[in-house]
Structure 1
């Protein structure tokens, strides 16, 4: 019988005799994208998704100090929300939250837009003055609130001193139910104007100067140029400015708590301060109702965010 031999193929070699390496498989672009998204996803899950889940869980259970530590709070469903809606503080806190947010947004945007248009003229001291206007935004909130508390003090405040100099009697800015909400609104407007100034000024920088030159040649005055060019072209920037301002103002707590603590007689209580009072401001904290009030703020911010996304999508399609 003839013996059959099997020939083993020899590896391919280069011209110099070296064996070439096997070609590497290219990395999938999808895996690379997931690798870049992984840190952001982990951050959002740890610092946003999980706290939100815990807050929702708090609002659906009857937590006491003991059950909070042991983790055996009974499930109560929407009982905490019904308790919040039936509380006599709910209606005043809702009204104060709406007034505080609405007035602050209107004045912060109007003053910020006026200053942005003013500094857009690029005069000699424009950069220096613009930097000085950023000081309220850079200061810690506790410093700003403490400064306004001193300025609005009924006995030794500089505001009442100025009023006395012009023949007006003193005003109990922080201790009168009629003035406490106005006081915290004034302080918050002062703090929020620089943010609107910076964002709106950057939006003005993107408007071509040729449009203003053409309008000036056509005989348009400054007011007509503002309403025909500046305001319409600034609308996308204005929308995101108002949305961010709304979300920030809804959750303002530091200014109100330091200046008035929501008083006197709940005259400056908002949902943010009420949530803190329920959860941490009593000897017997009501964690469930406090979390429920906080969730109402989250829902309000989410609703306005979805409205913004829907409006932007319609504008993009049109």
Structure 2
């Protein structure tokens, strides 16, 4: 009796190391090609201006440079000159007061309004839409409008305060060194509130209602509900908002220029306005670039602090 011979079936071989390595390199190359256009655009639009500004801060870059094309290398002399300037310390203090005052009140008022609008009621959508108008207006338009409101003799604010007998004499909102910075901070708070409300409201909308229902069963109502449910879930949005607020506020220029121009008596002079004056009034572009680089460094420090605190929160 004949027996059929069995032929070994061909086995499916796993790809060897060389083939896996080639496939991995191909996938990596594909990813790089997809990212390359965006990376080149970032370098062209952001990298070059930053490098150019850094080089300008190390050169004697003035008005004559545009005619001669020569900008002698001076190293850190521009940084030394702006730091030794008598206005630099005042500008630093004003920048800190302007930034802190704006951020604290923008966030506090924005959070209160976000909580208010989170409770649905008739016309809430319309009111939220109207609340966005200060943020949508061009800053120079907002500055011109508030300048007319804050005029000492003909401004509607002083007329209202005097009509209500809250003040006896017109308040020099933009003409007094002791009041001007407060007025500028107030206008910036008004402009920044809608941005805070929008982000905080979106953060509140992402919190599940089930958490509040479970909290009510455990007795977490009112302030306790906010402290143990709302704030922990809103902390990530709040940290991003505060970091962005610092970066945006520390470099505010057009509002101050439109209201006071840095005056009176340099009472509203900040690092941003000082950089503008050095560059476009004194035509000392090297010193203006040095001041702007100091602003970039301060913003970068805040960004690093934010990233480290965020990473620590994720690890925990």
Q: Same fold (TM over 0.5)?
A: yes
Using the TM superposition, give the Cα deviation of residue 232 of structure 1 relative to its aligned residue in structure 2, in angstroms.
1.4
Partner of 1:234: 234
Partner of 1:151: 149
Partner of 2:301: 303
CA distance in 1, matches of 2:65, 2:145: 40
Partner of 2:108: 110
User: Quick one: which of 31, 35, 51 aligns to 2:49?
Assistant: 51
User: Quick one: which of 50, 64, 67 aligns to 2:65?
Assistant: 67
Question: Once superposed, what is the RMSD of the aligned Cα atoms?
Answer: 1.5
SS of 2:70 mapped into structure 1: coil
Partner of 1:97: 95
Using the TM superposition, give the Cα deviation of residue 69 of structure 1 relative to its aligned residue in structure 2, in angstroms.
4.1
SS of 1:219 mapped into structure 2: coil
Partner of 1:192: 192
Tell me the matched-pair count: 292
Partner of 1:11: none
Deviation digits for residues 96-143 of structure 1 (CA, Å, limit 9, x no counterpart): 000000000000111111111111111122111111110111111111
SS of 1:265 mapped into structure 2: coil
CA distance in 2, matches of 1:146, 1:36: 45
Query: Taking structure 2 as the reference length, what is the TM-score of the superposition?
Result: 0.89
SS of 1:220 mapped into structure 2: coil
Is residue 2:143 matched to residue 1:141? no
User: Quick one: which of 67, 73, 78 aligns to 2:76?
Assistant: 78
CA distance in 2, matches of 1:69, 1:317: 56
Structure 2 unaligned blocks of 5 or more:
1-21
SS of 1:65 mapped into structure 2: coil
Is residue 2:216 matched to residue 1:212? no
Using the TM superposition, give the Cα deviation of residue 37 of structure 1 relative to its aligned residue in structure 2, in angstroms.
1.7
Structure 1 unaligned blocks of 5 or more:
1-24
CA distance in 1, matches of 2:255, 2:161: 24
Is residue 2:34 matched to residue 1:36? yes
Using the TM superposition, give the Cα deviation of residue 64 of structure 1 relative to its aligned residue in structure 2, in angstroms.
2.1
Using the TM superposition, give the Cα deviation of residue 265 of structure 1 relative to its aligned residue in structure 2, in angstroms.
0.8
CA distance in 2, matches of 1:38, 1:122: 46
Partner of 2:255: 255
Deviation digits for residues 2-21 of structure 1 (CA, Å, limit 9, x no counterpart): xxxxxxxxxxxxxxxxxxxx
CA distance in 2, matches of 1:195, 1:36: 33
Deviation digits for residues 185-239 of structure 1 (CA, Å, limit 9, x no counterpart): 1111011011111111111111111111122223333111111111111111000
Partner of 1:12: none
SS of 1:172 mapped into structure 2: coil
Partner of 2:5: none
Using the TM superposition, give the Cα deviation of residue 36 of structure 1 relative to its aligned residue in structure 2, in angstroms.
2.6
Query: Taking structure 1 as the reference length, what is the TM-score of the superposition?
Result: 0.89
Partner of 2:10: none
CA distance in 1, matches of 2:272, 2:97: 14
Using the TM superposition, give the Cα deviation of residue 155 of structure 1 relative to its aligned residue in structure 2, in angstroms.
1.2
